[in-house]
């Protein structure tokens, strides 16, 4: 799955597995801090409420194999997951749109461990330009294209209102961004070869709301 250069090869990893790996990583770090040396699928299952078989399958994707009766060495498992996720490489990103959500993302502590570093943000509002959030500068949107090119930034995060999202995406792509994380409530079009991930908060709520309806209708 991961070849000798640590590059990701073609065996498809289910997205739910990818989303759970950071949850294991986070929990394993806590075990490390507590000085716990070994863990098992059963113990992980109790702590994280995933099925043991699911955990075994998820971890197998990273290439690690548990030892019978012993389970996994915490340190080895943690390192294997982090290598697998590529969290030892830093992913530098620019963020555009310093509203509440943009500010929340810039201040989010959880990104440190997963190797995402928002190195600067951009906004159109002169009151925001020149300020700092979490130690990162807010720059004028006019400088976005040029800085992407000069700094060879590959990841762009969009937190502008819907009406401006496509325009920001176009500037990003034109200057070399290869992956866009879009939080604006509209879908943006990108050419082939550019990855876009839409975060639709209302969609997430739908899942919760539907489960609640179902649970209430059972009572």
Single out the residue of 44, 85, 129, 172 in contact with a copy of itself (rule: CB under 8 A).
Answer: 85
Residue 80 binding a copy of itself, by CB under 8 A: no
- How is residue 84 written in tokens? 């697998």
Calpha distance 18→194 (Å, rounded): 20
Per DSSP, 88 falls in state: T
- The 10 Å Cβ neighbour count of residue 75 is 14
Residue 149 has φ and ψ, to the nearest 5°, of -65, -50
Residue in 67, 88, 108, 146 binding a copy of itself, rule: CB under 8 A:
108
Residue 4 lies near a copy of itself (rule: CB under 8 A): no
Does residue 44 belong to the site contacting a copy of itself (CB under 8 A)? no
Q: Is the CB of 69 or the CB of 163 nearer to a copy of itself?
A: 163
Cβ of residue 51: shortest distance to a copy of itself, in angstroms? 15
User: Which residue pairs from 57-64 have beta carbons closer than 8 angstroms and sit at least 24 positions apart in sequence?
Assistant: 57/17, 58/17, 58/20, 58/21, 58/24, 59/24, 61/1, 61/13, 61/17, 62/1, 62/2, 62/21, 63/1, 63/2
Residue whose CB is less far from a copy of itself, 143 or 205: 205
Residue among 117 and 143 whose Cβ is closer to a copy of itself: 117
Could you give the CA distance from residue 34 to residue 55 in angstroms, rounded to a whole number? 21
Considering only 45, 59, 113, 176, the residue that binds a copy of itself (CB under 8 A) is: 113
If one asks whether residue 34 binds a copy of itself (CB under 8 A), the answer comes out as no
DSSP state of 21: H
Which C-beta is closer to a copy of itself: that of 10 or that of 33? Answer: 10
Beta carbon nearer to a copy of itself, 120 or 188: 188
Q: Please, what is the minimum distance in Å from the beta carbon of residue 99 to a copy of itself?
A: 7
Q: Which of 51, 44, 40 is nearest to 27 (CA)?
A: 44
Positions that interact with a copy of itself (CB under 8 A):
7-10, 13, 15, 18-23, 26-27, 48-49, 85-86, 91, 99-101, 103-105, 107-111, 113-116, 154-155, 178-179, 181, 185, 187, 189, 193, 195, 197, 199-217
């Amino acid at each position: 799955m991961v070849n000798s250069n640590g590059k990701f090869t073609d065996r498809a990893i289910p997205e739910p597995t990818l989303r759970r790996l950071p949850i294991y990583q986070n929990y394993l770090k806590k075990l490390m801090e507590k000085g716990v040396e070994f863990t098992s699928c059963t113990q992980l299952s109790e702590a994280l409420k995933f099925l043991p078989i699911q955990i075994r399958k998820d971890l197998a994707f990273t290439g690690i194999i548990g030892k019978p009766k012993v389970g996994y060495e915490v340190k080895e498992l943690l390192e294997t997951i982090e290598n697998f996720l590529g969290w030892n490489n830093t992913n530098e990103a620019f963020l555009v749109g310093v509203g509440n959500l943009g500010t929340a993302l810039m201040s989010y502590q959880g990104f440190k461990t997963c190797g995402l570093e928002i190195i600067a943000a951009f906004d159109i509002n002169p009151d925001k330009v020149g300020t700092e959030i979490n130690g990162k500068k807010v720059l004028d949107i006019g400088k976005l294209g040029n800085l992407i090119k000069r700094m060879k930034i590959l990841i762009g995060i969009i937190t502008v209102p819907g009406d401006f999202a496509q325009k920001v995406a176009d500037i990003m792509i034109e200057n070399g961004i290869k992956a866009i994380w879009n939080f604006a409530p509209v879908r943006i079009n990108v050419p082939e070869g550019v990855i876009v991930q839409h975060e639709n908060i209302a969609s997430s709520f739908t899942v919760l709301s539907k489960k609640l309806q179902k649970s209430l209708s059972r009572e």
